[in-house]
Amino acid sequence: MKLTLRIWRQSGATGRLVEYPVDDLSEDMSFLEALDVLNERLILAGEEPVAFDHDCREGICGMCGVMINGVAHGPQKATTACQLHLRHFKDGDVLTVEPWRADPFPVVRDLVVDRGAFDRIVAAGGYISVPTGSAPEAHATPVPKPDADTAFEAAACIGCGACVAACPNGSAMLFTAAKATHLGVLPQGQPERYSRARDMVAEHDALGFGGCTNTGECTTVCPKGIPLTTIARLNADLLRAHTTRSDR
């Protein structure tokens, strides 16, 4: 099959869309493999290949992700760009491919953006403090099944940044809430639950992300289907951290 890819090319402060016809594609290829095919041709022709992030290509690492025709990770629900197969497009389709765009996600080159802001949100509180020593017996701390399920659902976040890319406010609240929920509903996460909410949200805001308006575009494009309820949970923890907790 044949596709026409209009790809954002950028090597300095500004960039532009460049159109590339790509043929000899198979519908069994992933979207990233279509970019690989294009890049091989560009290299053979002596041109600069398109830079894009990728790693596991199994939909679990969170490295890949581009806007395809204006939708983060493309048209297929709950699917990363690496797991998006060309069979979801029609022969001859024209696809606009752009990097994630948000003020705290500067474009490094072409389709690659710097998502270091996510690391700084996690560093601000997305962890539990564990004293060194031998690992405790895993079954010593019982976890109610519904809590385990809620934590696991949130822990599925791979930090790809699609939520920010899709947000009309440039907010990273779904990501922040996923991390805070994943730790905050488990017994091991309780001691730092409220300081975590306070510190992660403060870092989120300091990095220049916008506020959430509960529009829900984030959860719609999220390849892991992180629900908006995580944001309500984080809101509750943050309000409690600033109003009633003495350990703030």
Partner 1 sequence: MDTIRLYRSTIGKKAVMAVTGAALFLYVVAHMVGNLSIFAGPGALDAYGRWLRDIGVVWPVRVGLLACVVLHFVAAYQLTARARKARGRYEHRRVVQGSYAARTMRWGGVVIALFVVYHLLDLTVGVLNPNGVPGEIHANVVADFQHWYVVLAYTAAVLALGFHLRHGVWSATQTLGVTTSRALGLGVAIVICAGFLSVPFAVFTGLVS
Q: Does 201 bind partner 1 (CB under 8 A)?
A: yes
107 and 10 Cβ atoms separated by less than 8 Å: yes
Question: According to CB under 8 A, which one of 30, 76, 79, 171 is a site residue for partner 1?
Answer: 171
* Under 8 Å between Cβ of 99 and 107: yes
Question: Count of alpha carbons within 13 Å of 121, Cβ hemisphere only?
Answer: 26
Of 212, 223, 224, 226, the residue at the interface with partner 1 (CB under 8 A) is 212
Asked if residue 167 binds partner 1 (CB under 8 A), the reply is: yes
Instruction: Considering the complex, state which of residue 83 and residue 209 has its C-beta at the smaller distance from partner 1.
Output: 209
E strand or H helix at 122: helix 116-123
92 versus 168: smaller Cβ distance to partner 1:
168
Q: Is 195 in the site for partner 1 (CB under 8 A)?
A: no
Confirm or reject binding of residue 18 to partner 1 (CB under 8 A).
no
* Contact range with partner 1 by CB under 8 A, out of 38-46, 48-56, 131-139, 237-245: 237-245
Would you count residue 10 as binding partner 1 (CB under 8 A)? Answer: no
Only one of the segments 28-36, 46-54, 127-135, 169-177 lies at the binding site for partner 1 (rule: CB under 8 A); that segment is 169-177
51 in helix, strand or coil? coil
The minimum distance between CB 26 and partner 1, in angstroms, equals 25
Residue nearer to partner 1 on the CB measure, 41 or 108 = 108
Q: Is 104 in the site for partner 1 (CB under 8 A)?
A: yes
* Positive/negative CA dihedral, 246, 127, 227, 170: positive
Instruction: Determine the Cα angle at 113 with ends 111 and 118, to 5°.
Output: 145
Query: Taking contact as CB under 8 A, which single stretch among the options 32-40, 53-61, 100-108, 186-194 is the one that binds partner 1?
Result: 100-108
Q: Contact between 87 and partner 1 (CB under 8 A)?
A: no
**DSSP-derived secondary structure for 137-203:** PGGGS---HHHHHHHHHHHT-----HHHHH-TT---HHHHHHHHHHHHTSGGGSTTHHHHHHHHHHH
CB of 248 to partner 1, least distance (A): 6
CA distance 93 to 47: 24
Report d(CA 112, CA 99) in Å as an integer: 6
Positive or negative: CA dihedral 199, 205, 208, 211: positive
Q: Which is closer to partner 1, CB of 71 or CB of 155? A: 71
| Chain residues in the site for partner 1 (CB under 8 A) | 8, 17, 67, 69-71, 96, 98, 100-105, 165-171, 173, 201-202, 204-205, 208-217, 219-221, 228-229, 231-239, 242-243, 248
